[in-house]
Amino acid sequence: MATVTPDKTLDASGLNCPLPVLKTKKALEELQSGQILEVITTDPGAKADIPAFCNRTGHQLLEVVEEGGKIIFYIKKK
């Protein structure tokens, strides 16, 4: 269970690469600096793609939770 409370949730379940990353980028653009985005995905590739996106863009990956076939990322906007 996550220890982070998100400001916004993006459900990208059922979407495959590159859509989870593209939708994450768009959702982060709508947030203010310091706010937290929760991204829910079922794409196994996202386990590598989302952290790489955060490293490349400077957003902070706070937590990753895997439960019930879903991968949930908590990202703090830079």
Segment 6-59, tens digit of pLDDT: 999 999 999 999 999 999 999 999 999 999 999 999 999 999 999 999 999 999
* Residue 54 bears catalytic tag: no
Is residue 43 in a domain?
A: yes
Full-model pTM: 0.95
Dump the DSSP string for the chain: ------SEEEEETT--TTHHHHHHHHHHHTSPTT-EEEEEE--TTHHHHHHHHHHHHT-EEEEEEEETTEEEEEEE--
- pLDDT at position 6 is 97
CATH of the domain at 36: 3.30.110.40
Is residue 2 in a domain?
A: no
Is residue 1 in a domain?
A: no
Number of domains forming the structure of the chain? 1
- pLDDT at position 43 is 96
- pLDDT at position 1 is 62
Which residue is catalytic, options 2, 4, 15, 17? 17
